[in-house]
Amino acid sequence: MRCGMSFFNATVYKSSLKRFWPVWAGLTLILILLLPLPVLNAWSPSRAEGVILGVGSFGAVVLAFGFSAVAAMTVYGWMYNARSTGFTAALPLRREGMFLSCALAGYTMLALPGVIAALLTMLSGAAAALAAQWLLKYLLLSLLFFGFASLCAFLTGTLWVLPVVYGLLNVAVVVLWLLIANVLTNLLPGYAGEVPQAAYILSPVVRVMMFQWDGSPFPDWAGLLGYAAFGLICAGLALLLAKKRRMESATDTVAVSWLKPVFRWVFSVGFALCFSNLLYLLILDDEPYLVVPMTAFLLLGAFLGWVIAEMLVRKSYKVGSSLKTFPILALLIILLTVGCAKGGFGYSARIPAPERVKSAQIEVGGYSCVTDDPSEIPGIQTLHRELAAAQPGQMGGRDVYIEYELTSGGALRRRYSLAGLSEEGQEELRQMVERELAEGLEVILSDNNRTFNFYATLYEGEEYYNFDLSEEQGRKLLRDGVLPDWRAGTLRLVSGWAFGPVSASEEPETFYFLNYDAWFRGDGRYDADFRYRMYDQFQVTPEAKNTWELLQKYRRETGKESWG
């Protein structure tokens, strides 16, 4: 008996919508409660727009992500039971027709509630254009997530495995990179541990959550269209798997035969990373550069992951024969850990040639020195060589970050411990940072539109004195006291510095502290992007005459001679 429509069957489509009506009815109810009703109750157009933007930025992502898995579980649920699979296979339908009918039914379950919610919002008369944009975003996200869920549905033969695989693969690249980064941080000297942008792009739900708004109603339409196209590609791959799927794969954890060894390796590596990170944190308190324990934890985790993966694939506790290839993974783990301990095959000691560096930055304790002056870059590279040559046993204390912007457009970033620097190197680094801060102080003092919230406290032993300075007094103290003494070397930075704060009680006649805060502009807005750190503490010696004279002058003007 031939099917009248080879690539679509209306009966299957309607039956899926009728049978699983609680899915799309529940989604419709949730969207109405989240969108049209709050918009109708909004007391102003701006409030209505805020509701739509809020649901558009997070609600659309969360609902499309979650209900896509539910829709896939319902419309493809017949594949996970041997009886229903056999019954469906006996129908006079082509596999393409069965797949497309089920897929369209699943997408309808997601799209129809969004259309209803958006139309009700538009009928309210508030922010109709914004509601239309929200609908477009929701439909694109639904296409992305349901297409991806469809592909995951044909990778497994067990219903409960589908949402697990779907959820993990949506975040797998970012999670794996973070786990690998934590292992490398404890093995590879110099590793900075940053997650590349590509890892977020390859983790759809994470990247969609992180879209930048840039003042527009909805973010990155090109990115959303690209992800929607990716959803269609996933649906196409699912169709190819549907045509080749063995009916006997129902109830199998992995339904595609050639993916079973891939699953074993991926699961084993992932389990090893999770297991080793957990044990390292619990037993060794995340102490870095202990190669032997980390290698042992990775090997044990990989072995357990290998056994668990094999049991899932075979649906049996008999896994002996599969262990024959495990030594290959164990050998790779040992080679990688030993290679990291030896410097990552040149990674730790790599320093770009000065002519290839466009700018260089060195950062410690929240302070940094940035330069694009060719005469200053070799100074940073000298410190870099000393840090890279330090042995892991010298590690500890504050981190030093070094980053190069290369002329080729790339970047190189490394992280070391300040303990790897000699006393001379630490002093040179301190001077670099102080020069940068002095330049920043000159910049903010030249900006008359910047508001200073100025605080000054003198510590003498266990006694202290708080100043209540005006804007004019604060600027004068920084301009005529701190800057000249800083350049003369009689005033030193101590707050947040890697050497640790100097206790005022150690030498009461020498150590005093000065704080200032200039994070706010004249219009009162928080200036989060300002380059220079504006809250510092200084060690003021008796030789810092300019600063000391102004502080004593302000103290006398207050009429308060006693210390607090």
Q: Which residues lie across from 293 on neighbouring strands?
A: none
Tell me whether residue 552 is exposed, middle or buried, using C-beta atoms within 10 angstroms of its C-beta: 0 to 12, 13 to 18, 19 or more.
exposed
The answer, as to whether pTM is greater than 0.85, is: no
Q: Which residues of 532-544 are buried (b: 16+ CB within 10 A; e: fewer)?
A: bbbebbbbbbeeb
Tell me whether residue 63 is exposed, middle or buried, using C-beta atoms within 10 angstroms of its C-beta: 0 to 12, 13 to 18, 19 or more.
buried
Determine the Cα angle at 153 with ends 170 and 325, to 5°. 75
- Give the span between the Cα atoms of 223 and 230, in whole angstroms: 10
Q: Which residues lie across from 513 on neighbouring strands?
A: 457
- Taking the chain, what is the end-to-end CA distance rounded to the nearest angstrom? 98
- Amino acid identity at 232: L
Q: Which residues of 390-402 are buried (b: 16+ CB within 10 A; e: fewer)?
A: bebebbeeeebeb
The alpha carbon of residue 365 and the mean position of all alpha carbons in its chain are separated, in whole angstroms, by 22
Nearest-10 crossing angle of helices 95-123, 128-153: 160
Tell me whether residue 22 is exposed, middle or buried, using C-beta atoms within 10 angstroms of its C-beta: 0 to 12, 13 to 18, 19 or more.
exposed
Please report the pLDDT score of residue 345 as a whole number: 84
- Amino acid identity at 462: E
Return per-residue pLDDT of the chain as tens, 564 residues. Answer: 454 456 777 888 998 899 999 999 999 999 998 888 888 877 677 777 777 877 766 778 889 999 999 999 999 988 887 777 766 666 677 888 889 999 999 999 999 999 999 998 888 766 788 888 889 889 999 999 999 999 999 998 888 889 999 999 999 999 999 999 988 888 888 888 778 888 888 888 888 876 644 444 455 788 889 999 999 999 999 999 888 877 766 778 888 888 888 999 999 999 999 999 999 888 887 677 788 999 999 999 999 999 999 998 888 877 777 788 899 999 999 999 999 888 888 888 899 999 999 999 998 877 778 888 888 899 999 999 999 888 765 555 678 899 999 999 889 999 988 888 888 888 888 888 878 777 777 777 777 766 666 667 766 656 667 777 777 888 888 889 888 888 887 777 765 444 433 344 344 333 445 545 444 444 444 444 444 444 566 677 778 888 888 888 887 776 554 444
Nearest to 25 by CA among 65, 67, 56: 67
Q: Where are the alpha helices (DSSP H) in 349-466?
A: 377-389, 423-446
Nearest to 271 by CA among 318, 296, 310, 306: 306
Q: What would the two tokens of residue 306 be?
A: 């290998």
- What is residue 121's DSSP assignment? H
Q: What would the two tokens of residue 552 be?
A: 């004593």
